[in-house]
Homo-oligomer: A and B are copies of this chain.
Amino acid sequence: MNTWLLQKEGFDPKDAASDGNRFLCANGYMGLRGVPEEAGSALFPAVTLAGVYDQYQDKWREPVNAPNGLFVRTYFNGQAMTAEDGSPRAHTTALDYRHGIYSRKTDFAAACIASRRFVSMASPHLLADEYQISFRQDGEMTLEAGISCDLWDINGPHLFDYHFQTGETLTASCVTGQKKIAVAAAQCVQADFDAEESVRQDETGVFRVFRRRVRPGETLTLRVFAAVYTSLDTVDPADAARDCCRQAKAAGFSDCLRAHAESWEKIWALSEITLEGDEEAALALHASQYHLNCVAPRHARNMSIPARGLSGQTYKGAIFWDSEMFFFPMFVYTQPEIARSLLRYRIETLDGARRKAAEYGYRGAFYAWESQEGGEEGCTNFNVVDVFTHRPVRTYFRDKQIHISADIAYALRSWYEITGDRTLLREGGAKVILECARFYLSRANGRLDSERVDFADVIGPDEYHERVTNSFFTNEMIRHCLESALLLKEIFADQPAWFAELLKELDYEKDWALLSVLRDRISPPQERNGVIAQFDGYFGLEDCSLDTVRSRLRDPREYWGGDHGVAGVTQIIKQADVIALMALLPERFTDQQVAANWGYYEPRTEHGSSLSACMYALTACRIGRLDEAWELFMKTAQIDVLGGGKQWAGEIYIGGTHPASNGGAWMIAALGFAGLRMRAGKLSVNPRLPRQITRLSFPVATGGKRCRIDISHDGAAISQL
């Protein structure tokens, strides 16, 4: 079995949304969905750009899909040859995880189309495709290759004022509606055949048209080079895009592919986990690492990764807490510069978080739940559509999920603890931690008649239970944030003047004294038999099974959460919550505590979020529930191999790739199975290898160290590289 290859036989348009995700190519700058070259918008093709957002009318803000310069469609005797119309005798799609190459092969009666393509990991603006047709029949061929502007948008359209240029290079230039960001796609080709050539341009794009007579046994090859630039990258994006694809054409497809593949080899050298003993698992782990690596912002130093990667516009292309909780660990241990970029994004969007806090009448930094450029909150007050009334439903992710600020502070502190580097803290990280802590000072609900402080009306990770009081996860993450703020003084004990100046700049003197007051007064959780209540009153909710809750659904697309949802009024939770905290702050809990809470919460967890299984798996490793850890690992790692997963929340499409699960798979393998840990410059492992794995081996490069970890049932080794 090739544990680097995802392959699928056949083509069913119903699977197009899911397959577009599974077969995604991306390089951090953009993502190209895994659909055939000739696909129209019904198959959800997209070249999704990272960090370029637009709002159309009053719809949700979402990332912009660029014009698709890899569009190719062939007609034989006037009949389009498309994978989707049922005419192919066979169709194969493949994705080579090792080198990030998508390929497809489609057998029609008259001809066979085979192609391979990539989004260059060596050149962030470049896409390339090698497209071959082998004819079996005699006939008239028309091949159109160009820039398709027939885009699939969830809340679009976003691109206007199209302007086309033709010649050796085709260019489509346009601007976004809201901020007038210029977007340009260019394309040039190299054809190994002669044909009558012309150009067609209309509202669907600009295309080269090749016409010729073809004969059986003849194979034609077209190599397509495309590029995308925006005015966020350069002043003249059309020019830059043209240059980019001309240079690629000059270098040739093979050289471009080689450079791309070499870049991937370097990424794998830094990050690959070799898993032996189970090939399905090895494939799934490769898939997970591929999908997380391919969306990492390698071209920038201050960007983060959206919750659905670059697989489309789902979740508004926004940055969630997934970045800090699920993406950050793999990167901080293997490619710390990417982890630094994720955190720099937060540092540079501090003002957005301050604006959001002020909007709600608070001080400090309340980070966006769905953060877009500049820290702009992309989350609206209505994120679910009721399937019965088709009306938007007021949701509270935006205003009540206050743990987001503490999550960011947690990652900043982890950065320091794992890498030993203080520069990030000095260059804004400390300010972020202090401002997050300040937000909690103003958000705290103190009682007048006791020293107890509650955090009322919040939502924890388990979003099905809205507006609860004293979410244990939230309260403890807040406490950790306050402690991190206090710790800064020790971290910078050798730079007291700088630190004093920082506090002064932030007008923080009064607040500093309150940090420890709040830390000490946060309400203790309710407990029962060693189980910590997820929030005050949790144990008073109906205690029924997941099956019972599921049986109450009247519509499979119903939203489970809130007061109307089937889960919201019961103890059934969406995802790890108390357990997530125990995974994040393991040293605060005894094994016994973890075991008691795991035993209680796991059967009550829907795992309705891809953020859930990983946290249960990590804690399962700790308490020796290795069979369950293995099962949860496979569930986590296979998510973008098998496709599926929740595609709908109410009437909202939420499909896409799952970088949080992808990062989760790395976390389970490295932090769970191997028990990897880096603190105070000391790397350690504490293996909990499931019986299904015979060997686990992976590199670590952080805090100035380059090591390889090797774990088997016979022992563990850390070797310096």
Contacts and interface: CB of A to CB of B under 8 A. Distances in A.
B514 A448 contact: yes
A449 B363 contact: yes
A564 interface: yes
A504 interface: no
Given A389-B564, A467-B467, A564-B564, A442 B446 contact: no
Interface stretch (A163-171, A187-195, A266-274, A450-458): A450-458
Contacts of A562: 563
B446 A441 contact: no
A445 B458 CA distance: 14
A506 interface: no
B456 A445 contact: yes
A542 to B, nearest CB: 10
A568 interface: yes
Given A392-B569, A563-B563, 16 more contacts: A388-B388, A388-B389, A391-B552, A391-B564, A393-B564, A394-B568, A394-B569, A441-B449, A442-B447, A445-B456, A446-B447, A446-B448, A448-B518, A457-B457, A457-B467, A563-B564
A389 B554 contact: yes
Contact-size category for A: 35 or more
A361 interface: yes
A517 interface: yes
A391 B562 CA distance: 13
A514 B449 contact: yes
A386 interface: yes
A448 B517 contact: yes
Q: State the oligomeric state as a number of copies.
A: 2
A444 interface: yes
B389 A563 contact: no
A394 B106 CA distance: 54
Interface in A457-493: 457, 467, 469
Contacts of A389: 388, 554, 558, 564
A484 B517 CA distance: 33
Among A448, A511, A514, find the residue whose CB has the most chain B CB atoms closer than 10 A: A448
Contacts of A38: none
A444 B448 contact: yes
Interface string A562-589: 1110101100000000000000000000
Nearest to A445: B445
B449 A511 contact: yes
A394 B563 contact: yes
A381 B537 CA distance: 12
A179 interface: no
Interface string A133-145: 0000000000000
List of 7 A-B pairs having minimum Cβ-Cβ separation, nearest first: A388-B388, A445-B445, A446-B446, A394-B563, A441-B449, A457-B457, A389-B554
Interface string A424-453: 000000000000001001101111111001
Nearest to A443: B447
B453 A442 contact: no
A456 B453 contact: no
A528 interface: no
